[in-house]
Chain A
């Protein structure tokens, strides 16, 4: 399709340029405008660093807040397409839920109407090209600076400069075009015209991938009388529907949630467009009434178009809000996520996809989510390796009772589990991290390195449990009560650690997290059976054989290493990265000396 589409567009444009210099000017205006939008997007991406998650979490926990976030972000960035792409990226990374994502998209549809107001109210009434030149000069100077912030400001300034310049060329082009060809003679009235021009609006937006650019083109053409007011309204409706193509394209590289959101975007804009077409007469009357009330002249069609654009998007949002829940249900049915793989199938990544690469913070969030997914799988393998039931480990059942209920009467094949549930995902995380790293600032790369180490810790824990499993099973039913007791202690210790890590992963109470992490570090010292004299006592009193002693010593080391790996992993990927503990980093965690002191105190008491 693309093989035919692109050459056709290029040929049509080339022919147009050949026969009409005015058409060339209009097209150049559109191209400059679109380039300005790209530059503006680049600038805003520079500023959407680590604080983005905090803003998102605080401003999208309720639907009305996410609508507000959508309105505000689109008004500032002047691109509903960029907001849609970012929202798909947030959703794919698991930073927001589908309802919140839909809220943002609804808000973006209202926010995008500010563009029409700006162009119709300011762009055509003030000679904005005069502002474009200094903006471009200052912008380019800033772009050449090393500072990230100045670069960002530079891109935003050049973006705005090109937007203004684009509008200027479009306006000039249409004015000159009128002398050679009066497009208004092609105006079609009635419902026929409504459908034809809605179709043209959709097509123009699909080609330009920006409803904003289409709308500016409509407004400038309308301002010089090249299109009729009725047809301009239809074109605006078409632009609204056509803009969904950008989200649909972006969702192709996202996960199932991103596809659902693109579906919601399409449904919303289709419904809104349909309502606008059906009630066009009533809407036009409302526009006239509002225009009179706010003092817009009856022949100021460009501002009246802005009123129309706002009203029909606002009505669409108001109508659709009560159906967000229903919409989510329908989309979840249409775009079904793959059923949870049971049995022998290989587990795959859930959050890593091209769409989250849109921003460093969404890439980071997706990598963290995927690492948590990897830990979930490791948790399952470790509990089974310890011959414990997962549900019992995370319950409030006494640990002494938990170890009495075995998962199975035979050892599990940890290698097979590792290949199915760990190896592939771990490889993908490392591969994706390398890709994401290329677009990340320095402070993110440092954090990413820690996450990669945490993932290695998870893998090492699983490998450790493989070594441990053999003797755990062997001595679980040993007639020697002493060795059995020692291995039970290892199982209790690791079960306690897994339980505490589960609490750490699910709570946001910082005092609880700090307490459990410190406790885990102190309790890990119990595996040092050489230092605490356990091994000496058992050997000296001939309570265990030499073979048992060697096994116990080796397995205690494995248990210690597993504990250390899991604690380090929990500190990096399970603690909320926007929370207070993360803000203080290593300073608040207890060090080795403090652990030793606490262990001594514990032994004394």
Chain B
């Protein structure tokens, strides 16, 4: 058995192959949570001494990033599901 194959087998046996995906998934999940909280915070600030244009721009950016993060999460979950099969 070649060394690379041996390491891959050992990683699989120890459950380490998921480590990378888990790390990324955890990061995206935390980011989505934080971005949602920011979105709510900004919406609550509407009309409260904040420039409407600026607020609107910030909401658009946060919205885009939530969508991007959710897309990454879906991809990672799919990858995990394929590997589990």
Contacts and interface: CB of A to CB of B under 8 A. Distances in A.
Interface stretch (A98-106, A478-486, A586-594): A586-594
A511 B37 contact: yes
B31 A584 contact: yes
The main secondary structure of chain A at its interface with chain B is helix
Interface in B30-85: 30-31, 34-35, 37-38, 53, 56-58, 60-62, 64-65, 68-69, 72
Contacts of A509: 34
Contact of B31 (A146, A580, A594): A580
Contact of B62 (A515, A587, A601): A515
B64 A510 contact: no
Interface in A475-516: 509-512, 514-515
B15 interface: no
A111 to B, nearest CB: 27
B65 A514 contact: yes
A511 B69 CA distance: 12
Interface residues of A, number: 26
Of B31, B58, B72, most buried by chain A (CB within 10 Å of CB) is B31
Interface size class of B (residues with CB under 8 A): 20 to 34
A467 to B, nearest CB: 30
Contact of A580 (B7, B27, B58): B27
A522 B54 CA distance: 12
Contact of A518 (B28, B30, B31, B61): B61
Contacts of A519: 57-58, 61
Contacts, number: 73
A76 interface: no
Contact of B57 (A522, A588, A590): A522
A584 B64 contact: no
A602 B53 CA distance: 8
Contacts of A518: 61, 64-65
B4 A598 contact: no
A270 interface: no
A150 interface: yes
Of B30, B56, B60, most buried by chain A (CB within 10 Å of CB) is B60
B56 A605 contact: yes
A515 B31 contact: no
Given A518-B64, A519-B61, 13 more contacts: A145-B3, A146-B3, A149-B7, A511-B37, A514-B31, A515-B38, A515-B61, A519-B57, A584-B24, A588-B68, A588-B69, A590-B65, A598-B57
Interface of B: 3-4, 7, 23-24, 26-28, 30-31, 34-35, 37-38, 53, 56-58, 60-62, 64-65, 68-69, 72
24 contacts: A147-B3, A150-B3, A511-B35, A511-B38, A511-B62, A512-B38, A515-B38, A515-B62, A518-B64, A519-B57, A522-B57, A580-B26, A581-B27, A583-B23, A584-B27, A588-B68, A588-B72, A590-B64, A598-B57, A598-B60, A602-B53, A602-B57, A602-B60, A605-B56
